[in-house]
Structure 1
Amino acid sequence: MKKLAVFIGLLLPLLFLLPYALQTAKDKVKEDLAKPVHSSIEPTLSPTRTIPKATQEKTSIFVPYWSLSSRNTSFSEYDELIYFGITPTVKGIDTDEVGYKSLKRFIRMAGEKKKTSLTLRMLDSTVNLAVLKDKKLQQTVVKQTVDLAKEHGFDGIVLDLELTALPFSSTITQINSLVSQLSSEAKKDDLSFAVLLYGDTFYRVRPFEVKTIAKSVDEVMIMAYDFHKSRGNPGPNFPLDGRNVYGYDFKKMTDDYLQFVPPEKLTIVFGLFGYDWEVDGSQKAIVNGSSLSFDKIDQSFLEKCMYQDCKTTRDPVSSETRVTYTDGEKKHVVWFEDMTSVAKKQEFLETRGITSSSFWAYSYF
């Protein structure tokens, strides 16, 4: 009886503290996703709009459904076009939304000579969790995705599962199951299969088991952008260097992934865009930043700045460009990736044996 009383005495405080511990963990996830940073930037090289010759052996580009009305292009510089894409609901693939309805239009635009892949874009957390938890729904989504890829003549499938969740073993297992199912069904129909993963997967709390996922796929595509979130403080899209300043950087990201994925399976996705933050006197964000395509940045700041007190500098640490300006009484900071910073990052990738790059996204630059 004494042992039982002691056991109960130890157990009760743990039960009392469990809800607090879970809430603390959830808060940590939110904190990590909008982690404030502080940067000291010295003015150096001015930005350039010149696009350097690609040094990568394979280059692809994402083509979002909303960009299909953009200017015509031959896509001659790309080896693969990735359509973005179709999306699920709690009943299966959504056949009423624009991404699904634009499938044929994309195929006509792509032509017959290019390799094409179909993205399953899973961006809604509520729907994603439903798909992960319901095996029957998961099977439906997988089958419909593979069937659509074959019906429209795609050569491959790309899974973009974006999920902010605690890395519980159950969630990790469910994600691995979805990846494994898609991989298995894709291979039955001779389709390649790739998975998109966050660039900050190892730095922040993410429920993705890279080692297991890598074994199931032909390609791991790393989203090397959005390290500094629109809802956080200003900073580079994904700094090349500067781990001591920003907490993490592109070089560490690459080496983290190479622990579990061979270089020939890795593709780095660069985001040709940036964010514009309104800031206070300490250069901290007052409101969420607004996203700007590189084309918009080029027109607003590089060709001719439309604002007062405009100052453009390239940060030698991150390799990316920073713009400060005043709009009336409001001070702003803009950070963005361009082809010059991409070239610097590609030079580093070559030292690690990675020769495949992709770009987000068509119509952005």
Structure 2
Amino acid sequence: MVLFLIVAVLGGVSLYISRLDYKNHPLTPYSSSFDILALFKERKKPAYRIYGYLPYWTLESMEYLELDRLTDVAYFGIYIDGEGNFVKTVEGADGIWIAEPGYRNWKENEKVTQLVEACKKFGVNFALTVVAHNDEDNDAFLNCRGCWDTLLTNIYTELDEKDITDVNLNFEYAGYTGKEMAGKFSEFTKYANQELDKKYGNSNVIVSAFADSPVKERVSSDLVNLARNSDGIFIMGYDFHRPSSDTAGPVSPIGGKGIHAEYDIETMLKDYLAVVPPNKLLLGVPYYGYNWVVGEPEKYAKRIDGNDNIGYSQSQSYETIMDVLINIRPQVMWDDLGQVPYFSYISEETGQQRQVFYENQRSLAVKYKLVKSNNLMGAGIWALGYDGGYTELWDLLYDEFID
């Protein structure tokens, strides 16, 4: 194991960035030469729920997971069609039908099986995420009560195969929906939760909800019933700015509503807590940021339309952003309103000005303190693996929720 330490200066505060190189590392959870359980026998569990999504595309980073810092892992995920069946094939870019990667990895990737077994040993809950992101299919499914039973039958097969009991429901529409569909989603959640409890006795059903669900007509906006019908709501507390936004800005701002964003985390939590008990809420945080093509280095710079010559605005994982910081060493600034870090730099490849807003130990600590001060169920992470071999975010989870 090789440990790299980097000191970054942020607003006069030194932050340590540490990275593990796990090549030939004998202490990974899946090494045949070391019993990782010995590492955790004397360690305490988190005092709050720490719920992390693990997308199929980060499975190669699974070796960096520190399971003692988590209470729940949710594999993301298996997509459904309008009839409640799992999507097993999709049309590729060249028009050839290929195996749907979320389903294929769930069924065939040995890393998933290894992680499920490791979670069982550590007492970490493991959930299957049911993903519904197609508007037409969502309408068809939610309007078809028989399709609900079809989906549950399919879910039972997958849960039984891996001897797990928990489910995450991730239903999203591209735009807004009316109250009718939100009501049907909360009714489906109630039915699924009841049926899963009948079969397994102690199944956990967590639903994801957009940050603006209290104030916009989302499929997850029937919050009173959604909280009552589920075991918890994972608030997707991010994407307040996106690569397509007019200006660069915080992905998950604590404050700033009406100044650089329509909404912010403090207002969002106030709105959620007006209708949902705090012990039903997980505050989801981003392990990623956005890197915009801009015309000037000033904060909240106006986005420039990208092209092949100057590059494009894009999302970047925490790992990628840390690599940029180490390689380019820009001056990292602090946004007092959003309470997040940001920096500007000139791209070496294109010569174009760029600006990055992201999360680090300091900004995430602010959010975790909101979890505790509001007595929420816990915190959520999108997504496990996005930090790669960097360890400081794992250390922060320990400091805030275990130590």
- State the partner residue of 1:109: 115
1:95 aligned onto 2:88? yes
CA pair 186-66 structure 1, distance change in 2 beyond 3 A: same
Residue 296 of structure 1 is matched in structure 2 by 320
Q: Equivalent of 1:195, from 207, 231, 248? A: 207
1:249 Cα shift? 1.3
1:134 to 137, 144, 154: 144
Displacement of 1:80 = 1.6
- Label 1:222 to 1:49 Cα distance change in 2 as closer, same or farther (>3 A): farther
Name the TM-score, length of structure 2 as normaliser.
0.72
Q: What is the aligned partner in structure 2 of residue 147 from structure 1?
A: 157
Question: Hey, what does 1:172 align to over in structure 2?
Answer: 182
- Which residue among 75, 78, 94 is the counterpart of 1:83? 75
The structure whose RCO (Cα within 8 Å, separation 6+) is larger is 1
Q: How does 1:228-247 map to 2 (within 5 A)?
A: 228-232=241-245, 233-245=247-259, 246-247=261-262
Q: What do the CA deviations read for 1:248-293 (whole angstroms, capped 9, x no partner)?
A: 2111111111112111111111111001111235821123630100
Query: Residue deviations 1:183-230, cap 9 Å, x none?
Result: 222221221111000112234442421111111011111111111122
Give me the whole-angstrom Cα distance separating, in 1, the residues matched to 2:240 and 2:88. Answer: 33
1:347 correspondence with 2:369: yes
Q: What is the aligned partner in structure 2 of residue 255 from structure 1?
A: 270
Letter in 2 for 1:193: V
CA distance in 2, matches of 1:294, 1:166: 29
| Alignment correspondent of 2:289 | 274
CA contact (8 A) 2:255 2:264 kept: yes
| Distance 1:209-1:236 versus aligned 2 partners, 3 A rule | same
The alpha-carbon deviation at position 44 of structure 1 amounts to: 3.7
Matched with 1:123 is 133
- The match for 2:55 among 64, 82, 93 is 64
Amino acid at match of 1:238: S
| 1:243 alignment partner, SS class | coil
Q: In structure 2, what is the Cα distance between the partners aligned to 1:146 and 1:225?
A: 31
Displacement of 1:358 in angstroms is: 1.8
Cα distance in 1 for residues equivalent to 2:338 and 2:45: 20
Name the amino acid aligned to 2:256: G
Which letter maps to 2:285? F
- Partner letter of residue 279 of structure 2? E
State how far apart, in whole Å, the 2-side matches of 1:50 and 1:355 are.
28
In the superposition, the TM-score normalised over structure 1's length comes to 0.79
CA–CA separation in structure 2 for the residues paired with 1:186 and 1:289: 42
Deviation at 1:151, TM superposition (A): 2.9
**Equivalent residue number for residue 224 of structure 1:** 237
SS of the residue aligned with 2:61? coil
1:13 equivalent in structure 2: none
* 1:69 aligned counterpart, secondary structure: helix
| Paired residues of 2:176 and 2:218 also in contact (CA < 8 A) | yes
**Which whole-Å CA distance do the structure 2 matches of 1:98 and 1:47 have between them?**
41
Cα distance change of structure 1 residues 55 and 312 upon mapping to structure 2, 3 Å threshold: farther
Task: Give unpaired runs (5+ residues) of structure 1.
Answer: 1-42
- In the TM superposition, residue 45 of structure 1 has moved relative to its aligned partner by 4.7
SS at match of 1:254: helix
Of 182, 185, 193, which residue of structure 2 is paired with 1:183? 193
Tell me what 1:333 maps to. 355
Instruction: Tell me the percent identity.
Output: 22
Q: Cα 1:107–1:339, aligned 2, differ >3 Å: closer, same or farther?
A: farther
Superimposed CA distance per residue, residues 293-324 of structure 1 (whole angstroms, 9 cap, x where no aligned partner): 000000012x2317xxx332121221111111
- CA distance in 1 between partners of 2:14 and 2:211 (Å): 24
| Alpha carbons 1:276, 1:292 under 8 Å: kept | yes
CA distance in 2, matches of 1:284, 1:355: 37
2:401 corresponds in structure 1 to: none
Whether the 8 Å contact between 1:47 and 1:321 is mirrored in structure 2 is no
